[in-house]
Amino acid sequence: MTAGRRKYLLFSIFTALSLILDQWSKILARQDLRPRGPFNPKVIVAGYFDLRYAENPGVAFSMLQDMPGGRIFLTLLAVAAFVLVLYYLRKTPAESTRLHVALGLVGGGAIGNLVDRVLFGKVTDFIVWKVGLHEWPAFNVADAALCVGVGLMVIDMFLTRREAPPKPA
């Protein structure tokens, strides 16, 4: 397999993996957590980690949830983000494995939340991390894939800069 094909294979595997895990976990959340209601979470690790059903019509942290035409705008934004990911993938060097994985995670996360927005008009969230009384907003596997993918992109950016040979003066 050529290095050029390998980058598309890695991207496709991580896109599919994050998308499948996201949609599967959201199906389970709608089946098992929605009937419990928002005030009866499933405690996984007391004081740190709960599963609690939530619906988010906006973007991260429920921003833009009341914006007129928000569903259409956010759908178009997700499609544009995925097209941008594909464009960036095309431009990446064949040996940038970490970047291909990162782009796959970002692509899968974007599509995962896009599927929810198109099918249901809102995104299903259910993972809640907390420490003591502080609680982070609920999120899902797609959000986690997006964050990990962006984190890997940042790491790649710093490591690639460090590995680059110094420019002659």
| CA proximity to 25, closest of 147, 98, 115, 102 | 115
Instruction: Please confirm, yes or no, whether 66 is among the known catalytic residues.
Output: no
Instruction: Please confirm, yes or no, whether 125 is among the known catalytic residues.
Output: yes
Q: Which one is catalytic: 22, 116, 125, 156?
A: 125
Residues near 78 by Cβ (< 8 Å), separated by ≥ 6?
110, 111, 113, 114, 117
- Give one DSSP letter per residue of 18-84, joined into a string: HHHHHHHHHHHIIIIIGGG-TTS-EEEETTTEEEEEEEESSSGGGTTTT-TTHHHHHHHHHHHHHHH
Cβ atoms of residues 64 and 122 within 8 Å: no
Q: Which one is catalytic: 22, 116, 143, 156?
A: 143
Whole-angstrom Cα distance, residue 95 to residue 124? 36
Active site residues: 125, 143
